Amino acid sequence: MKVLFINATGGGFAAPLEIAEGTTVGMLFLEQVGGDPKNYLIRVDRLPTTIHQVLHEGARISITPLKIEGARGVA
Amino acid sequence: MPWKPLLWRTAVRLEAAYARRRAPLFGDPLHWDAWSELVAGIRRRDKAARRGWRYARMREHETLQRELEHLLSNLRVLRGSFLLPQVPRLPGAAELYAELAAAEAEFGAVVEEDYELFVTTEPISLEGIDLGPFEIRLDLRRLEEPEPYRIVAVDPRPAHSSSETVHPHVHAQRICLGEGKPAVAAALAEGRLGDLFQLVHRVLQTYGEGSAYVPLDRWCGSPCADCDDAIDEEEGYSCYDCDGVVCGGCVRSCRYCDRSACHECATVCYSCEETVCGRCLERCEQCGEDFCSECLTEGVCDACREAEEEEPAGETEDAGAESQPAIHADGLGETAVLARPRHHRNRRLRNLGRR
């Protein structure tokens, strides 16, 4: 089945992704991002979720780090 | 979620604004001035290192880190634009409505005011410093620009040294997104405004020490190079030697030209021990130590002069050596031992080797 995956740790684009039926948020996270999910805000269909949620056809999953380091611009 | 007509009208206006958008989707991804600044910064740092300007070298090193971060940030945006080269489709009103609703759920309200759409964050505190809440404002008339957003401090608590720096990564209402830049650019291009507000919010909640406009440890003023107390940079004194800034309580001023120095770099007269800068010190022709002009008479210090006067007229160095066999037996050398001024013995050693 297809889902829309938005990974803010990469380029930040929304990209369609083919996943197996029964894939959970946690499985997708490990496959696409890795690391500790506690350091990320994971949302499905724009709502915060848990790693145990099973994804459905057409789901919109976004993964955003809790900390994103800014910088100092150059005038 | 209940239907919100006002939010829908905003979404429709946004849809029209996106339809008018004709500019490059990711703006100008690489600014060549970032590279030039980096090269110039390396030259400045190396020059400071060669001349032994420790403080200047440290400042240049810090600036270099920021310039490098800026360049990396631009490169990340460029790389991001290549990851998925297809042109993002224009967001529809329904999608934009869903984004606005999500932002409203997260921030409490999405407000449209004077062609700007904004959300307000909770009060943000970094490293124990309370910076207050911020408004993340998106200008609907500037969607074609790479950065059509600005950050406004609701209750500004700016850095002591810069009234326009209200957050370590916000200066003059502009936020430098650093690592978040590609993701924000993509969210803007695809009309994912809920994600955009959230990403900017994450940057505001994060502190990057090496890449801040004003580091938080200097937020309440710069640390004095001697006592480490916070001081306003405009009220501090710059050391003429190392370029460090010291407070009024620690500054040493040359008694002749009034140049300022820190404790580490201050030089003193060998005799009176008053602070005198290297430029105003003069060398005694006999003992070779540095003195202020008042402690020298015709190029000779008082102690050497007294020693000279105490020596019998016509006595040679050899004769003196014969008259002081015990001293020579210790290998201390020549009659200069007798000529040393008394107060030389208590001289602090910290300025040896300086001008």
Dihedral of the CA atoms A17, A19, A23, A25 (nearest 10)?
-10
Contact call for B182 and A70, based on CB within 8 A = no
Dihedral of the CA atoms B31, A8, B15, B26 (nearest 10)?
20
Least confident among A4-13, A39-48, B85-94, B170-179? B85-94
The answer as to whether A74 is a domain residue is: no
**Residues A29, A44 contacting (CB under 8 angstroms):** no
Our CA-based measurement puts residue B175 at a distance from the nearest CA of chain A, in whole angstroms, of: 8
The answer as to whether A53 is a domain residue is: yes
User: Which residues in B lie closer than 8 A to residue A49 (C-beta atoms)?
Assistant: none
- Domain boundaries along the sequence of chain B: 5-25+87-218, 230-346
Q: What is the per-residue pLDDT for B8?
A: 94
Return averaged pLDDT per consecutive 10 residues of chain B, 355 residues in all. 88 89 56 79 87 79 78 72 63 93 94 93 95 96 88 93 89 88 87 94 90 84 77 77 84 88 87 87 89 89 86 53 45 42 38 36
Our CA-based measurement puts residue B58 at a distance from the nearest CA of chain A, in whole angstroms, of: 17
The answer as to whether A70 is a domain residue is: no
- Find residues 165-184 of chain B whose CB sits inside 8 Å of chain A: 168-169, 171, 174-180, 182-184
- CATH second-level architecture of B5-25+87-218? Roll (3.10)
**Residues B344, B261 contacting (CB under 8 angstroms):** no
Give the domain CATH number at A54. 3.10.20.30
The answer as to whether A33 is a domain residue is: yes
Number of domains comprising chain A: 1
Identify which has the larger pLDDT, B104 or A7. B104
Q: What is the per-residue pLDDT for B90?
A: 80
Rounded-to-integer distance, Cα B301 and Cα B319, Å? 24
Q: What is the per-residue pLDDT for A43?
A: 94
Q: Which domain range does residue A14 map to?
A: 2-65
Contact call for A68 and B199, based on CB within 8 A = yes
Place of tokens 């890449």: B211
Q: What is the per-residue pLDDT for A75?
A: 38
For the segment A30-49, the average pLDDT, to the nearest whole number, is: 91
Which tokens hold the place of B317?
């160095």
β partners of residue B282: B291
Q: What is the per-residue pLDDT for B53?
A: 80
The answer as to whether A75 is a domain residue is: no
